[in-house]
């Protein structure tokens, strides 16, 4: 006979938080360092929110960004440019003019005719690729993520705080109901 499996409770809100900014007059204490912060993490479905400093979002032990397709495209194009740059550097090294070529007159003839050598073309192309790679790297490093996933321990703490709040509200309403506390006996003692 198989044992019945315990039911998995679905969390009250998903582990997907949107980054929102508020005005400085609406800033509140960060949940980690208690400094005033204007950055708010808001759970999908508005089930949870809290204030946090932007620096804490860089900590992998607190939260990790959810990479959108746009960011993945930037990373892939950066990798392509890096590979292309490495190939061009290798080709450039192969075409590099050495002293024995100038002695033989090979490079001198090309320069006098005004022709652009393969080395010059590769050098120019390498400069363009390097500039493009620098731009992509700046874009990747400066990318502002809008969605974050909390570390599992932090997320569990947020769920526990939410459940504690719900329990407190339920308890307060039960206390207000008539008949919650026992009543004083009404019969006479004689």
Task: Render pLDDT for 8-25 as a digit per residue (tens, 0 to 9).
Answer: 677 788 899 999 999 999
pLDDT at 108 over 70: no
* Residue-range domain boundaries for the chain: 17-66+145-171, 69-141
Instruction: Please state, in angstroms and rounded to a whole number, the distance separating the CA atoms of residues 123 and 94.
Output: 12
Query: Which pLDDT band, with edges at 50, 70 and 90, does 177 fall under?
Result: confident
Average pLDDT over every residue of 23-48 = 92
DSSP string, 78-131: HHHHHHHHHHHHHHHHHHPPPHHHHHHTHHHHHHHHTPPPHHHHHHHHHHHHHH
Per-chain mean pLDDT for the chain: 84
């Amino acid at each position: 006979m198989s044992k019945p499996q315990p039911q998995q409770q679905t969390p009250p809100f998903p582990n997907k938080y949107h980054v929102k900014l508020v005005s400085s007059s609406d800033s509140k204490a960060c949940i980690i360092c208690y400094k005033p912060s204007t950055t708010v993490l808001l759970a999908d479905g508005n089930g949870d929110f809290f204030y946090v400093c932007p620096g804490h979002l860089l900590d992998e032990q607190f939260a990790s960004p959810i990479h959108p397709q746009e960011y993945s495209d930037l990373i892939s194009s950066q990798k392509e440019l890096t590979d292309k740059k490495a190939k061009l550097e290798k080709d450039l090294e192969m075409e590099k003019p050495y002293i024995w070529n100038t002695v033989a007159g090979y490079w001198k003839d090309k320069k006098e005719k005004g022709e652009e050598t393969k080395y010059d073309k590769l050098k120019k192309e390498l400069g363009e690729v390097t500039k493009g790679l620098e731009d992509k790297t700046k874009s990747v490093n400066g990318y502002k993520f809008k969605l974050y996933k909390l570390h599992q321990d932090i997320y569990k703490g947020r769920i526990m705080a939410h459940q504690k709040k719900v329990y407190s509200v339920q308890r307060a309403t039960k206390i207000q109901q008539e008949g919650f506390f026992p009543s004083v006996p009404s019969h006479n003692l004689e």
